[in-house]
């Protein structure tokens, strides 16, 4: 089964497209933007693997790993571009792809100027669709440090449910940190996106 997930990953058509975004493998030409946006205390504070001082070497390593993980079918690590101007707005990934148990873990970040516009939700919905329909996965998980309310809202908007707290699960900067564990099953309902709710609120009732 593990090899069949690699086979499905290999057949994925990238970039993934949404209304406003393109999700594609990270590319060297976007490294200057990546370095600019990722130099952000909020990102370092709320993620496990992104360091506070992120160097060009880290970026090169990120690209190498993303491409390797995609080739092997073990992870799908994508940069998020805005379609209107092709600017890098963030990153999103499916990690620990498990073809036996049909699960994976999601993670994401947005550059500070791009928050509050629904881009994270839009990218996450695309990843969820790809995971369930494109890859045939059954369960997605997300780990969120206690207190990361922005990320919790993104997950809830996309239908993720909180399963519980993983107490002192990881060590970050020399301190134990606890995670909320969120999950979404392929059989769970996914709430309509806020963008479409707003549009249908203004338009005629019952229109598609």
Binding site for ligand COA (CB under 6 A): 42-43, 46-47, 107-110, 115-121, 144, 148, 150-151, 153-154, 194-195
Signed CA dihedral, 60, 66, 72, 75: sign only: positive
Q: Which uninterrupted H or E stretch holds 184?
A: strand 175-185
* CB nearer to ligand COA: pick between 63 and 123: 123
Give the span between the Cα atoms of 184 and 159, in whole angstroms.
7
Tokens of residue 68, six digits: 């390797």
Shortest Å, Cβ 69 to ligand COA: 19
- Three-class SS state of 47: coil
Which residues neighbour 153 within 8 Å (Cβ) at sequence distance 6 or greater?
Answer: none
* CB nearer to ligand COA: pick between 64 and 153: 153
* CB nearer to ligand COA: pick between 2 and 196: 196
Shortest Å, Cβ 112 to ligand COA: 8
Shortest Å, Cβ 94 to ligand COA: 14
3-state helix, strand, coil in the chain (%, to 5): 40, 30, 30
* CB nearer to ligand COA: pick between 23 and 43: 43
Shortest Å, Cβ 3 to ligand COA: 30
């Amino acid at each position: 089964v593990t090899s069949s997930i690699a086979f499905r990953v290999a057949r994925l058509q990238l970039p993934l497209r949404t209304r406003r975004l393109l999700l594609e493998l990270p590319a060297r030409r976007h490294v200057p933007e990546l370095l600019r946006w990722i130099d952000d205390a909020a990102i370092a504070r709320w993620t496990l693997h992104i360091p506070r001082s992120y160097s060009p070497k880290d970026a090169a390593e990120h690209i190498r790993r993303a491409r390797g993980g995609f080739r092997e079918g073990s992870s799908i690590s994508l940069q998020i571009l805005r379609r209107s101007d092709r600017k890098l707005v963030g990153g999103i990934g499916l990690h620990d792809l498990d073809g036996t148990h049909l699960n994976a873990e999601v993670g994401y970040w947005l550059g500070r100027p791009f928050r509050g516009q629904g881009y994270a939700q839009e990218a996450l919905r695309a990843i969820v669709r790809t995971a369930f329909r494109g890859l045939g996965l059954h369960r997605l998980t997300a780990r969120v440090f206690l207190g990361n309310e922005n990320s919790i809202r993104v997950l809830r908007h996309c239908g993720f449910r909180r399963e519980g707290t993983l107490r002192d699960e990881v060590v970050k900067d020399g301190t134990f940190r606890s995670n909320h564990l969120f999950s979404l099953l392929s059989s769970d309902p996914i709430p309509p996106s806020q963008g479409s709710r707003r549009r249908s609120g203004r338009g005629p009732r019952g229109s598609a």
